[in-house]
Structure formats: structure tokens, C-alpha cells
Structure 1
Amino acid sequence: LWLNMNIVLTAFNIYLFLPLLGGVGSQPMRKYSCVSLSTQQLNIRNLVSYEKQKVPVNAIMFITTKGIKICVSPDQKWVQSAIKKIDQKRTTRGK
């Protein structure tokens, strides 16, 4: 009985922690992904970077100066402006 319990616990632990080791193929797993989108317009001055996401929803994840991640629809006009501003800042810093 004790041996069977150890086998069950070991199998359960492997099941729980295996996904933490990596994603499918060579793609790393995201630590955070958008499942819902904010409809509120953000202050562009408070945004430092962004990531594009296609799955599970098409979204732009903005990261604020405080490290907060906010997901929005890429179809909004202000979102495209914010992306351009962030890209310009990156280009300017790189020179």
C-alpha cells in the first residue's frame, strides 16, 4: 500500500510540473497571455513595451512603467498609435 501511494504521488507530481519545463517544440510557454481585452484607452506616456498575441485571442499586451500588463484589441486606432510611439522610442534609444 505504501509503495502504491508513492507511485501515485510521483506520477501526480510529474503531471503537475511537466508543463513548467517547456512548451511544444522549441517555443517557450508564455507566463501571461490575454484571455480578455480592456476597452479603456491607456495613456501612451505610461507604456514602455508591448507584445503581439494571436492565441487564445488576437491582442496587444501593453506593459506599463509599473510593469502592469494590459491586453487590448489591436484594431483600435489609439493602439496603433501607441505601438508606433513605443517603436520610435526603441529606435531612438538604439542609436
Structure 2
Amino acid sequence: MSADRPTWADMTLDDGHHCLSCGAHVHERTIAGYGDNDGNLFACPDCSTPRDLRQGAGRDPDYDLEEDRGQSTASGYHPIFGDSDE
């Protein structure tokens, strides 16, 4: 008595919703909220902090932690407050 077993569909997620930095699968709402206007996500919750995502790490491929987080740099420039020499 042999029963035919069902075949399982391939469960690989290839819907294009992934982080371009680490390759993790992300929800389309994550891309809509943190990615750029072309649907690209350059950082995700798996490889970046919530602070960096709010600061634009997901939409900017050239996001620099030291400059874009607003930390002081050698030039003294702060992205929100401007030059520190004023």
C-alpha cells in the first residue's frame, strides 16, 4: 500500500525584497520606509541600527557613520547645526 506523497513547492524567497548590504530578506514596507525612491535598500534592521536607518542609511549607498550620524568630524562640520566655528 503505497501512497503518493505531495511535492512541496520551492520556498525560496526571490521577490526582490532584500538588503543590498547584507542580503537579508526584508518586508516591502521596510523598503518603502527606509529605502530610496527606486526600491533599493542599502541598509536594513539586520545590518544597521534603527538610528542609522532614521538618518538615511537605507537610502544612501555612501552613508558614513561618522559624518551622517552627526558626530563631530575633523572639519568641525555638523549636518544639522552647521560649522562649529560660528
Q: TM-score, normalised on structure 2?
A: 0.32
Q: Which has the higher helix share?
A: 1
Which of 1 and 2 has higher RCO (CA within 8 Å, sep 6+)?
1
Question: TM-score if structure 1 supplies the norm length?
Answer: 0.30
